[in-house]
């Protein structure tokens, strides 16, 4: 383990750093998500990520092994080609680096339960199948219906998001689109009525997004600062913002639309809550 122990460093304020090598024969998204989810549980420790996607040949693996040799650390990998995985493991053992095939335990579990061996297909989850094209269609729809655009066909959406400015409508919509949901988002602007097309929605799930006035003001101030704009405006006045949010809550209550407070939620957490609401909504729609 000596080689890997040398790979860790202590930086400013006593924070520890270590090298984390993520080796994949596909895009590396799975590895990155797993690694970051776990690393986030350790306070005072940060990973220096080295990401190697699309490693599918010995030549490509040679570069990876050289970099691990230069900066030893923890190695996580998703390589379905046995020869490549074996070479990587041998190098890690030589350097004393902890290493783990992230998908191996899941493969073993499924193989034991199903009673059939898997077929080695790098990037199989990214095949150009119906699900893939559904996500692309959802993304196109979502981009075309951002910020209140094209309200005439709102009921073609799976989800419609409403909220005052800076409630993370657009990034949440993009995330949902990547999960295959056609998502429109509509800003609630002081002095302007929501589009009349909302009255005729039958199929789409409408969700209201809110946040605390303090959080909205903070985000808006940062936005104005980035634009070098004057901040002497009701846009960042706490009382005015609080009234905006109160009006939006009353609108959501009148329409009986579900509300999600995004003050302390990440985009992923907000989207997860909406996906759960959409599953329930879709089931009711099918039943009726």
What average pLDDT does range 238-262 have in this prediction?
A: 97
> What is the model's pLDDT at position 120?
61
99: pLDDT confidence band, cut at 50, 70 and 90? very high
> What is the model's pLDDT at position 110?
87
222: pLDDT confidence band, cut at 50, 70 and 90? very high
Q: What CATH number is associated with residue 10?
A: 3.40.50.2300
> What is the model's pLDDT at position 12?
47
Domain encompassing residue 101? 2-114
Instruction: Determine whether the annotation assigns residue 10 to a binding site.
Output: no
Looking at the fold, whether 110 and 147 belong to one and the same domain comes out as no
Q: Does residue 122 lie in a domain region?
A: no
Which pairing describes strands 9-10 and 159-163: parallel, antiparallel, or unpaired?
unpaired
Q: Does residue 119 lie in a domain region?
A: no
Looking at the fold, whether 101 and 182 belong to one and the same domain comes out as no
Looking at the fold, whether 146 and 278 belong to one and the same domain comes out as yes
> What is the model's pLDDT at position 123?
54
Instruction: Determine whether the annotation assigns residue 3 to a binding site.
Output: no
Q: Does residue 8 lie in a domain region?
A: yes
What average pLDDT does range 22-33 have in this prediction?
A: 91
What average pLDDT does range 57-81 have in this prediction?
A: 96
Question: Helix, strand, or coil here: 201?
Answer: coil
Q: Which of 80, 114, 148 is the last residue of a domain?
A: 114
Instruction: Determine whether the annotation assigns residue 168 to a binding site.
Output: yes
> What is the model's pLDDT at position 132?
80
Looking at the fold, whether 28 and 150 belong to one and the same domain comes out as no
What average pLDDT does range 79-99 have in this prediction?
A: 95
Whether residue 10 has pLDDT greater than 80:
no
Q: Does residue 281 lie in a domain region?
A: yes
> What is the model's pLDDT at position 15?
65
Whether residue 2 has pLDDT greater than 80:
no
Q: Which of 74, 90, 114 is the last residue of a domain?
A: 114
DSSP structural state of residue 16: E
Q: Rounded to an integer, what distance in angstroms lies between the CA atom of residue 24 and that of residue 29?
A: 9
Whether residue 219 has pLDDT greater than 90:
yes
Looking at the fold, whether 85 and 197 belong to one and the same domain comes out as no
What average pLDDT does range 228-232 have in this prediction?
A: 86
> What is the model's pLDDT at position 77?
97
The two tokens of residue 38 are 């776990």
Q: What residues have CB less than 8 Å from 107, skipping those under 6 apart?
A: 118
Which of 95-104, 134-143, 171-180, 276-285 has the least mean pLDDT? 276-285
Nearest to 251 by CA among 202, 187, 204: 187
Tally the domains of the chain.
2
Q: Rounded to an integer, what distance in angstroms lies between the CA atom of residue 247 and that of residue 200?
A: 21
DSSP structural state of residue 43: T
Whether residue 207 has pLDDT greater than 80:
yes
Looking at the fold, whether 95 and 139 belong to one and the same domain comes out as no
Question: Helix, strand, or coil here: 4?
Answer: helix
Looking at the fold, whether 31 and 134 belong to one and the same domain comes out as no
Looking at the fold, whether 102 and 177 belong to one and the same domain comes out as no
Q: Does residue 11 lie in a domain region?
A: yes
Looking at the fold, whether 56 and 20 belong to one and the same domain comes out as yes
Whether residue 287 has pLDDT greater than 60:
no
Q: Does residue 105 lie in a domain region?
A: yes
Q: Which of 58, 87, 114 is the last residue of a domain?
A: 114
> What is the model's pLDDT at position 86?
96
Whether residue 108 has pLDDT greater than 80:
yes
Residue count of the chain: 288
Looking at the fold, whether 274 and 152 belong to one and the same domain comes out as yes
Looking at the fold, whether 25 and 96 belong to one and the same domain comes out as yes
The two tokens of residue 118 are 């898997």
Instruction: Determine whether the annotation assigns residue 165 to a binding site.
Output: yes
Contact 61, 87 (CB under 8 A): yes
What stretches of 145-266 show up as alpha helix (H) in DSSP?
A: 169-178, 213-226, 238-255
Q: Does residue 212 lie in a domain region?
A: yes
Instruction: Determine whether the annotation assigns residue 170 to a binding site.
Output: yes
Instruction: Determine whether the annotation assigns residue 191 to a binding site.
Output: no
Q: Rounded to an integer, what distance in angstroms lies between the CA atom of residue 161 and that of residue 168?
A: 10
What average pLDDT does range 266-282 have in this prediction?
A: 95
Q: What CATH number is associated with residue 197?
A: 3.40.50
Looking at the fold, whether 154 and 264 belong to one and the same domain comes out as yes
Instruction: Determine whether the annotation assigns residue 169 to a binding site.
Output: yes
């Amino acid at each position: 383990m000596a080689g890997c122990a040398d790979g860790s460093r202590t930086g400013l304020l006593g924070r520890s750093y270590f090298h984390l090598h993520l080796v994949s024969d596909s895009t590396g998204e799975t590895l990155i998500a797993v690694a970051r989810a776990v690393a986030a549980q350790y306070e005072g420790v940060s990973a220096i990520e080295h990401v190697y996607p699309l490693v599918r040949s010995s030549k490509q693996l040679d570069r990876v092994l050289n970099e691990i040799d230069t900066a030893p650390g923890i190695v996580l990998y998703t390589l379905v080609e046995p020869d490549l995985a074996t070479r990587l493991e041998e190098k890690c053992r030589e350097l004393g680096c902890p290493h783990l095939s992230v998908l191996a335990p899941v493969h073993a579990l499924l193989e034991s339960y199903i009673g059939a061996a898997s077929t080695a297909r790098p990037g199989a989850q990214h095949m150009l199948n119906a699900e893939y094209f559904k996500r692309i269609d959802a993304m196109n729809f979502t981009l075309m219906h951002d910020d209140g655009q094209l309200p005439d066909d709102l009921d073609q959406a799976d989800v419609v998001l409403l909220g005052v400015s800076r409630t993370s409508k657009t990034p949440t919509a993009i995330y949902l689109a990547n999960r295959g949901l056609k998502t429109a988002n509509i800003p609630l602007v002081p002095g302007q009525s929501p589009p009349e097309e909302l009255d005729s929605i039958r199929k789409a799930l409408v969700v209201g997004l809110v946040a605390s006035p303090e959080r909205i003001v903070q985000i808006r101030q940062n936005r104005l600062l980035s634009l070098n704009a004057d901040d002497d405006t009701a846009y960042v006045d706490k009382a005015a913002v609080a009234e905006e949010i109160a009006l939006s809550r009353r609108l959501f209550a009148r329409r009986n639309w579900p509300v999600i407070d995004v003050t302390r939620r990440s985009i992923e957490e907000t989207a997860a809550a909406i996906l759960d609401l959409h599953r329930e909504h879709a089931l009711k729609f099918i039943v009726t």
